[in-house]
Structure 1
Amino acid sequence: MQPSNRLHVPARTIMTPGPVEVDPRVLQAMSSSILGQFDPTFTSLMNETMNQLRQVLQTDNHWAFPVDGTSRAGIEAMLCSVIEEGDVVLIPSFGRFGGLLTEIAERCGAKVHLMHCEWGGVFDPKDVIAEMKKIQPKVVAMVHGDTSTGRMQPLEEIGRGCREQDILLIVDAVATVAGTKVLTDEWNIDGLITGTQKCLSVPAGMAPLTYNDRIENILLERKSIEKGLVSQDQLASNTRKIRSNYLDLSQLQDYWSPARLNHHTEATTMLYGLYEGLRLILEEGLENRFERHRLNERALIAGIEAMGLTLFGDNAYKLPTVTCVNIPEGVNGDSVRSMLLEEFGIEIASSFGPLHGKIWRIGTMGYSCQQRNVLLTLASLEAVILRHKVKLNVGEGVQAALDVYQSKERIESV
């Protein structure tokens, strides 16, 4: 029997809304020796990672730790640990990932009340607050930045309204944390989930999250029911139990506490990667990192528009880490993406549902968010679109992007 072929992974420039390129220093950290999950060096690393997460998530919450699994695992852990059978949950959905929140909440037994807006826009916070007053939900679950439409929902006013009405606000910030401002405490967010594979620039496989004492109180109450520390009447109804073992936040927080509950075997090398990714974010500085994302976004937009292409969606609420481009009429968008990948080694994304085949999505996230990648993507995209017989302003895209970068350099040199 012949041995299998050696693994070969081609070089790629990844400009999708996730996953993104990983900083080589993260990959180096992930190649470190394996430690036992209760080794004092490893538990110290767990504590340091929690501290770094608090800084990146801009929170004073005690609980800030990763769930092993992709972003969806973190979202499911948060929702299934908080939502009980029959709870009313309001989900204002402005893209595909509002649908994901809906599906998970329904599987938890929630009575979901949906709000919709046209893809490409977001909600007026006043409309969400008015709906909250009308239906009085236990939870409002929202996406901060939906990569399917490239829009970002303002949350500050909604968070204030939730707190005034004693409603929990749970936020999917997978596409925004470490790429743009996310103020967990200032915006009155009770539970927040993100993912490693986007602006954190760590491989997919962990879902960092944080929650405050309002959510912890729910976890402790449900945990007491599981342990039988309640009356027989309460025990007769098992709807208060957290139905997942692996994604039970009350057990996970015991694992991340000094008690070190033997809940699961931690993903050792992933934690190394997360630790190093967070360290690099804090080394760069959050404000500097946000400005880097804004700069590369400006350059990309300038190049796209100078080329003669147009942007999709309401620009006032554009997600700074994802740029959505209208596919020119008569062009097969998937053919352009395939040629871009095969001939230039650059990956951009299509979209979902009503936007499939109508827009391209270009991510500028984390380590992928750099001048070299933006210029390469603009030049290559122009070449491929010209091959598809579309008339463009030849050569102007890259020049417009260079103008943005050199203008920045001139300002900094003054």
Structure 2
Amino acid sequence: MMMFAELNTPLRTIMTPGPVEVDPRVLRAMSTPILGQFDPAFTDIMNNVMKMLQRTFKTNNEWAFPIDGTSRSGLEAVLASVIEPGDKVLIPIYGRFGHLLTEIAERYGAEIHLLHTDWGTVFDPEEVITEMKKVNPKIVAMVHGETSTGCMQPLEEIGRACREADVLFIVDAVATIGGADVQTDNWYIDAAIGGNQKCLSVPSGNAPITYNDRIEKILKQRKKVERGIATEQELAEGRSFSAIRSNYFDLSQLQDYWGPRRLNHHTEATSMLYALHEGLRIVLEEGLEQRFKRHKLHEKALIAGIEGMGLELFGDARSKLPTVTCIKIPDGIEAESVRSMMLNDFGVEIASSFGPLHGKIWRIGTMGYSCRKENVLFALASLEAALIRHGAKVNAGQALQASLNAYEKEKSLI
């Protein structure tokens, strides 16, 4: 009879744009005893998670809760619940995850309108606003932090223009929530979707979302259609509403589950909720503004080391995502061989990239619990060693000194 060995995973220094290292406090929280999903002790935990998500997303929205599933489940839940066949959706794409928004929206019957810019850049907000006025969409769906290119899109002007035009503004904040500023209310975001496995340092498994009453109005109208109780006036208001096509990703049903009625929709992922609860506690204990400063500090030290080594950064520095740094691969260097050596000889993992950037850049994430001085220094040391072994011309010994100098200037933040 075949026997299977006990799990014994290797220790890694994970410096990818996700998943990242999980905070030990979160791992301990996941070993908390299981409770029934309608036990008052558990529903208290649910309520606290909602309150902490409101603070983390910087919103007064009534609804802020996780969808059980990976970050993609949060994106799909929001889009599935608001898109009806034929709805116009404008998606400005500046990397891989704009294409993901497109793939999801297409499956729910949207009429897709795309706006493109070069990978490594972001949009001038006025460009998006101008296209929005041409298309007159129901929804503008956009990525805040694009991990495939290491860029971050300014959102406030676009959000304000959407609100003035009565267009829904839906934002993928998976890579930024908990690591860079996300101002849901101030930026006129109608729905925002976050991610566990990046700056929150929680295992992938549920996806925090929040949405406002503009979204909820659509949910209520579609729910009436589904139940056959919509009036003719309601059906005629603007356009006819259809029933939500997904059962699991139906936000109106999830509201009934997370709200005071506690109607059963699914069996809650208990241990994952414990993990998110502790991850959010850690974020709010540190303080959002202090946390953003910490991420910027380690980004600065990493960049100093990369440039000290003699390597070149990829992307427009003016729109850089503070939690992901992209590095151009030197000519003649076998990119995957370098990554493999870093992983196998040093236990350090960095990432390659997607699409047109595959084989052209490496991506290093400084997110959440992985965003620590020792991790940055170790990643630089292992990258330099691997490059030297592969025959690359680097400024040997300069990366760590430049990084240490950057840290020396900001002692108070370490």
So what's the TM-score if we normalise by structure 1?
0.97
In the TM superposition, what is the alpha-carbon distance from 1:4 to its structure 2 partner? 1.2
Counterpart residue identity of residue 95, structure 2: G
In the TM superposition, what is the alpha-carbon distance from 1:195 to its structure 2 partner? 0.9
2:6 & 2:214 partners in 1: Cα distance? 51
Of 285, 293, 296, which residue of structure 2 is paired with 1:294? Answer: 296
Counterpart residue identity of residue 396, structure 2: V
1:230 & 1:371 partners in 2: Cα distance? 58
Of 320, 324, 327, which residue of structure 1 is paired with 2:326? Answer: 324
Aligned partner of 1:174 in structure 2 is 174
In the TM superposition, what is the alpha-carbon distance from 1:238 to its structure 2 partner? 9.4
Aligned runs of 1:175-214 on 2, under 5 Å? 175-214=175-214
Counterpart residue identity of residue 354, structure 2: F
Aligned partner of 1:74 in structure 2 is 74
1:108 & 1:152 partners in 2: Cα distance? 27
Aligned runs of 1:69-108 on 2, under 5 Å? 69-108=69-108
1:373 & 1:86 partners in 2: Cα distance? 48
Q: Deviations over 1:264-294 (max 9, x none)?
A: 0000000000000000100000011001000
Of 336, 339, 342, which residue of structure 2 is paired with 1:337? Answer: 339
SS at match of 2:67: strand
Please state if 1:248 is matched with 2:257. no
Tell me if the contact between 1:85 and 1:239 (Cα under 8 Å) persists in the aligned partners: no
Aligned runs of 1:265-276 on 2, under 5 Å? 265-276=267-278
Tell me if the contact between 2:69 and 2:205 (Cα under 8 Å) persists in the aligned partners: yes
Aligned partner of 2:404 in structure 1 is 402
In the TM superposition, what is the alpha-carbon distance from 1:3 to its structure 2 partner? 2.4
SS at match of 2:222: helix
1:408 & 1:232 partners in 2: Cα distance? 64
In the TM superposition, what is the alpha-carbon distance from 1:350 to its structure 2 partner? 0.2
Give the paired residue count: 411
Counterpart residue identity of residue 213, structure 2: D
Aligned partner of 2:146 in structure 1 is 146
Q: Deviations over 1:224-282 (max 9, x none)?
A: 111110258969x9971111111100000110001001000000000000000000100
SS at match of 1:171: strand
Counterpart residue identity of residue 253, structure 2: Q
Tell me if the contact between 1:15 and 1:347 (Cα under 8 Å) persists in the aligned partners: yes
Tell me if the contact between 1:15 and 1:364 (Cα under 8 Å) persists in the aligned partners: yes
SS at match of 1:403: helix
2:3 & 2:119 partners in 1: Cα distance? 50
1:230 & 1:168 partners in 2: Cα distance? 22
RMSD of aligned alpha carbons: 1.5
Tell me if the contact between 1:155 and 1:187 (Cα under 8 Å) persists in the aligned partners: yes
Tell me if the contact between 2:83 and 2:108 (Cα under 8 Å) persists in the aligned partners: yes
Aligned partner of 1:314 in structure 2 is 316
So what's the TM-score if we normalise by structure 2?
0.97
Structure 2: 5+ residue runs without aligned partners?
Answer: none
In the TM superposition, what is the alpha-carbon distance from 1:356 to its structure 2 partner? 0.2
Structure 1: 5+ residue runs without aligned partners?
Answer: none
Tell me if the contact between 1:178 and 1:286 (Cα under 8 Å) persists in the aligned partners: yes
Tell me if the contact between 2:64 and 2:208 (Cα under 8 Å) persists in the aligned partners: yes
Aligned partner of 2:281 in structure 1 is 279
1:89 & 1:391 partners in 2: Cα distance? 47
Counterpart residue identity of residue 361, structure 1: R
Counterpart residue identity of residue 194, structure 2: T
Please state if 1:155 is matched with 2:170. no
Distance 1:256 1:392, change over 3 A: same
Please state if 1:39 is matched with 2:36. no
In the TM superposition, what is the alpha-carbon distance from 1:7 to its structure 2 partner? 1.2
Aligned partner of 2:124 in structure 1 is 124
1:339 & 1:74 partners in 2: Cα distance? 35
Tell me if the contact between 1:337 and 1:347 (Cα under 8 Å) persists in the aligned partners: yes
Tell me if the contact between 1:81 and 1:248 (Cα under 8 Å) persists in the aligned partners: yes
1:401 & 1:38 partners in 2: Cα distance? 50
In the TM superposition, what is the alpha-carbon distance from 1:407 to its structure 2 partner? 1.2
Counterpart residue identity of residue 242, structure 1: I
In the TM superposition, what is the alpha-carbon distance from 1:202 to its structure 2 partner? 0.2
Aligned runs of 1:220-239 on 2, under 5 Å? 220-230=220-230
Aligned partner of 1:13 in structure 2 is 13
Q: Deviations over 1:152-171 (max 9, x none)?
A: 00000000100111100000
SS at match of 2:91: strand
SS at match of 1:361: strand
SS at match of 1:323: strand
1:315 & 1:131 partners in 2: Cα distance? 25
In the TM superposition, what is the alpha-carbon distance from 1:313 to its structure 2 partner? 0.6
Counterpart residue identity of residue 270, structure 1: M
Aligned partner of 2:51 in structure 1 is 51
Please state if 1:371 is matched with 2:373. yes
Percentage of identical aligned residues:
66
Tell me if the contact between 2:81 and 2:244 (Cα under 8 Å) persists in the aligned partners: yes
2:413 & 2:294 partners in 1: Cα distance? 13
2:122 & 2:229 partners in 1: Cα distance? 44
2:386 & 2:241 partners in 1: Cα distance? 56
Tell me if the contact between 2:88 and 2:110 (Cα under 8 Å) persists in the aligned partners: yes
SS at match of 1:240: coil
Tell me if the contact between 2:294 and 2:413 (Cα under 8 Å) persists in the aligned partners: no
In the TM superposition, what is the alpha-carbon distance from 1:124 to its structure 2 partner? 0.5
SS at match of 2:171: strand
Counterpart residue identity of residue 389, structure 2: R
Deviant stretches of 4+, over 2 Å: 230-235
Of 342, 348, 351, which residue of structure 1 is paired with 2:350? Answer: 348
Counterpart residue identity of residue 169, structure 2: L
Counterpart residue identity of residue 384, structure 1: A
SS at match of 1:331: coil
